[in-house]
Each structure stands twice: as structure tokens, then as C-alpha cells.
Chain A
Amino acid sequence: MSRYVMIADLRRCVGCQTCTAACKQARGTPVGVQWRRVLDIEVGSYPEVQRVFVPVGCQHCGDPPCVWVCPTGASQQRSDGVVIVDYKRCIGCMYCSIACPYDARFRTLKAEFAFGDAPTEAEAVVFDPERVAVATKCDFCIDRVSAGVEKGLVAGKEPDATPVCVNSCISGALIFGDLEDSRSDVSRLIKENQTFRMHEEVGTDPGFYYIWDGAPAPMGASDEGEHTHA
């Protein structure tokens, strides 16, 4: 059994939004919809103030309220923990969005494109009419990941078995993998670093971890998420 999770290393994220752009390009989300976005948050109080860049999106909760409230069964949790939407079954009531503590779901009532009513050549390639007027969200690029795993690739290791936002991250801040695999990067990083999850008090068991502070990376540590903190 797998439990796919994602980690955002807040020490590394530079807020470049490449993950956001990669997601939009690969998944063809309409204007105003960002399945993967990076928040720019000011923390602390003067003079100890900083900007923190916080990647967010669907947290693929272990106890997902969006799945429980969905009246049609369109929102589902796979056995690997990934929460998906069956766009052919969704009625677009957006109860799931109301139930989600992470602002992760979107609905656009008509097809919208970057430059008017017609899609650009690139948009036409990824446009899916089934995603109009229903609840949409990040699915950890699960089709891509599953296809890669079927070919024998390791999820989160090889690019063909990894979500596009993680592949695109320029600073190695986003890491994806199987939490049930003790040898995976995500398992090791969570074990070796301080982490928190967003809004844990709501009790949804999010599958998205944030690494923060911790001891500095030793000199010469690789940039592939290979931190070895004391």
C-alpha cells in the first residue's frame, strides 16, 4: 500500500512560481485557477519580519472532508491516498469546496482561455471540456505518476513518475513520494526535519508537509533533497 505525499521545504522555496506555471501549462487550467500556487506571506513583527513562500494546493488529506460531503461520489480517495475528482460524475455543487479547509478547489462555469473565447494552440492540446462547471483540483498528476510506476519507475524519483510541479521546481523545494516506503525521500526528510502541516487542528490528516528551519544543510549536500540534518 502506498501513501503519496508532497513536501515543501520552506527554506528552499524562492517564490518563483515555476511550479504554478508548469501546472497551468501541463494541466491546462483556466484563467484564475491555480491548482498549485505559491503564497507570499509576511511573518513575524517588526523588526523581525520576513517573507515566506508557501506552496499550497490540494493537501490530499488522509481524512478528506471533500470526499465525505460529496453527494455523487465524484470526489474519491484512491488506495494510494490521492484525492481525485471524477469529472464525468461531478454536478458542480461545490459542497466539496465549502468543506475543504485549503481553498484547493475551483469551478469555472464556462470554458475560459488566456486570450478570449478560443484556446491557444497549447491550450487546445490540454483542454478538457469535462472540467467545465464542475469542481476541479490538483490530483498530484496521478495519471502521469501511475503510468510511470507501471513502467517500473519510482514515484518521486524519476521525472516520468513525478508531478510536473515537482519536476519544474528550480530549488528542489518540492518533493514527492511514497510515505509508506521508508527509503523514499519524503519518508527520510520528514523523519530528519522539523515539519508541520497546514491547519492540522481541523483533523484532516493532510498529505502535504512543510519543512521549516532545522539545522543547516552540511556543506556539499546535494540539491536533490538530500539534506542530512543532525
Chain B
Amino acid sequence: MKANILTHKPHAQPYWDARAAANFICGGTGTGLLLFAALDTARGGSFLVPGVVALAFIALGLSMVFLEIGRPERAPFVILRPGTSWMSREALTSMPLFGFGLLAILGSLPIGARFGIPVVPTAGVAALAGLVFLYCQSRMVSWGRGIPAWREPLSVPLMFTSGLSEGAGAMLIVTALVAEPALWVIAAAGVLVILRSLVWKRYLQRLHDGKVPEASIQALDKISVFVTLGGAALPIFLLVIAAVTIQSRAPAAALAGLCALGAGWLAKLVLITKAGVTQGFSLPVTPVRGGKFDAA
């Protein structure tokens, strides 16, 4: 049903839909994965596959925004206000992210190695840019001053920890497909999904305690069990199995990664598309039309 944006009652914001959510989903997953790929590369792993997947995720997210804006031909203008706009900062940060990320990928290939392109430092810079990119995305949501559920300050750590958790989940899946997930990734994923779950619980509590439209709270409450049990308890169980058993390490880690990934995607999708409810209008006083004589 199309939202009635002319009403005085709280209503779903009509402009940022699943495409905008996809930018937060893919951007978080991609930058999180980029961080893990760079760290793994520093420990002797290959950057090629996780690096390519990470950049593909981020590019996919940005292209979703391109599809959503009203005037795509003016998209380059998006970088013009880095002084105040987190969206400009996000767009600008994507430049070193892709630049150094592509260099690191090139360095991972035989042709890049022939030219002596160093993988570890370039991947490291790309990962740092990725962290800044993720932070910009997290702050973007919190500047939704018209959306009480978004302007709650805990939306920043929620988006940030979710991105890192999704990245860890994606790293588990990618490495399980090509080799065996490293124990340090399994441990890091465990810490991150617990952290995200704690932030999620606290965030929801803050929404319940604050002046937030009921529709926002209901939408988030509905998925809370998936985010906490499906996105933390279940992956922790699977990660423990992956850590202690050699034979089932790869499938258990991949499944845990899938849970971490799915919970984050679900949380962001619902946060942007369902919980993005405006505060509407309310009067802090009770005006009397015609003055006090008329009202008496």
C-alpha cells in the first residue's frame, strides 16, 4: 500500500526502498569482508577471491543507489559536499577503496606480481578505506532526523557491528568454499556476532523506552528472534563445532557464516524499509480556535 505522506500521523518514509537497503547490506558485507581479506592476506592467505567478492558487493550496493536516485545522470555530483554530508564522504571513500582494492587484486595475479605490486599494504589501505566507508554508512542512517528509529544514536554501532559481522560471515563462507576457514576468523566471527546481538538488544530497548512510532518497534520486534538466536546463538553453536572438529569445520563455519550474514541482511532490510517510520506531527499544546472567550 502506498504511504499517505500528507497525513499528520507517522507513516513509512516513501523514498528509500529495498534498493537503498541493498546499499547498506552490500556495503556492510563488502567492507567487512574486505577487512577480513586484508587481515588474512597479512597472515599469508590469498586476497584474490575474498577481495574480488568484497569489491563486487560494494559495487553492487552503490549501483543500487544509482538505480534509486531520481537523476542518475547527475550521480557524480554526490561528492560535492564532504564537509557536511556523510553520503558525500561515503562516495569519496569509495575511490581509494576501489583503487587500492583493485591494485591488491592485481598484485594477487601473476601479472601484478611481475610488476611487483605489493598485496599486503594495498589490501591494508583498501581495508582501512572500507572501515571508513562502513562508518560513513552507519552515520548516514543516524542523520535520518525525521525517522525516530534511525536517529537513535545506537543505530551507528548497530550498523557498524552488523557490517563487520556480515563480513566475518562472508569470509567464513568464501574460505570454506576454497579452503578451510582459519581459526582466528572463526573466533573473530564469534566475538562479532555476540557484539552485534548485544547492540541490537540495547538498541531495541532504547526504542521501546523512547518516543518511537509503534510501527517501527513492531517491525523490529518481529525479527528480533532471528537476529539474536539466528544471528548469534545458532552461529556461536556452529562456530564451536567448527573450532573443535576438523572434519566438519568447513561446512559448520559456512553455515555459521550464512546465519551471521542472513541476520544482518534481514535487520538492515527491515530497519530501512519497514522501521523507517516518520514521527508525524503532534501538538505539544491544546490550541483553542477562536480564543478563550469562544472556547468557554
Interface residues of A (CB under 8 A from B): 10-14, 32, 34, 37, 39-41, 43-44, 50-54, 56, 65, 67-74, 89-95, 97-103, 106-107, 109, 132-134, 194, 196, 198-200, 202, 204, 210, 212-217
Q: Please judge, given known A-B contacts A71-B77, A71-B78, A94-B15, whether A99 and B84 are in contact too, CB under 8 Å.
A: no
The majority secondary structure among interface residues of chain B is loop
On whether the beta carbons of B71 and A92 are closer than 8 Å, the reply is yes
Determine whether B252 belongs to the interface, using a CB cutoff of 8 Å to chain A. no
Residue contact A100 to B80, C-beta cutoff 8 Å: no
Pairwise interchain contact B16-A98, C-beta atoms closer than 8 A: yes
Supply 18 A–B pairs (Cβ within 8 Å), ascending by A.
Answer: A11-B287, A12-B289, A32-B5, A41-B281, A65-B143, A69-B87, A71-B87, A73-B81, A91-B72, A92-B69, A94-B70, A98-B16, A99-B143, A101-B279, A102-B281, A134-B70, A212-B285, A212-B287
Assess whether A216 is in contact with B80, with CB atoms less than 8 Å apart: no
Q: Which of B5, B69, B140, B292 contacts A216 (CB 8 A)?
A: B292
A11, A91, A109, A216: the one contacting B78 at CB < 8 Å is A91
Least CB separation from A64: chain B residue = B145
Docked pose: A93 CA to B91 CA in angstroms: 13
**B31 proximal to A (CB < 8 A):** no
A37 to B15, CA, bound (A): 20
**Is A213 a contact of B287 with CB atoms below 8 Å?**
yes
A11's contact among B69, B70, B283, B291, by CB below 8 Å, is which?
A: B291
**Cβ-neighbour of B81 out of A71, A97, A101, A202 (below 8 A):** A71
A213-B292 in contact (CB<8A): yes
Top 7 A-B residue pairs of the complex, sorted by shortest distance between their CB atoms: A92-B70, A133-B70, A212-B287, A94-B15, A10-B287, A71-B87, A72-B77
Does B110 reach chain A (CB closer than 8 Å)? Answer: no
> Are the CB atoms of B289 and A53 closer together than 8 Å?
yes
A30 to B151, CA, bound (A): 30
Which of B68, B77, B146 counts the most A-chain CB atoms under 10 A from its CB? B146
For the complex, what is the distance from the CA of A51 to the CA of B278, rounded to whole Å?
22
Q: Tell me whether B293 is interfacial, beta carbon within 8 Å.
A: yes
A91 and B257 CA atoms in complex are apart in Å by 37
- CB of A100 within 8 A of CB of B77, answer no
Q: Is the CB of A72 within 8 A of B80?
A: yes
Cα of A177 to Cα of B179 in the assembled complex, Å: 71
Minimum CB–CB distance from A230 to chain B (whole Å) comes to 12
- Report whether B279 and A133 are in contact in the complex, using a CB–CB cutoff of 8 Å: no
Task: Tell me, yes or no, whether B13 is within 8 Å of chain A by CB.
Answer: yes
Contacts of B280 in A (CB 8 A): 103
Q: A52-B286, A90-B74 are in contact. List 13 more A-B contacts (CB 8 A).
A: A50-B289, A51-B289, A69-B87, A98-B15, A98-B144, A98-B146, A99-B143, A107-B15, A132-B70, A196-B283, A213-B288, A214-B292, A216-B292
Decide yes or no: A68 and B146 within 8 Å by CB, A52-B287, A107-B70 being known contacts.
Answer: no
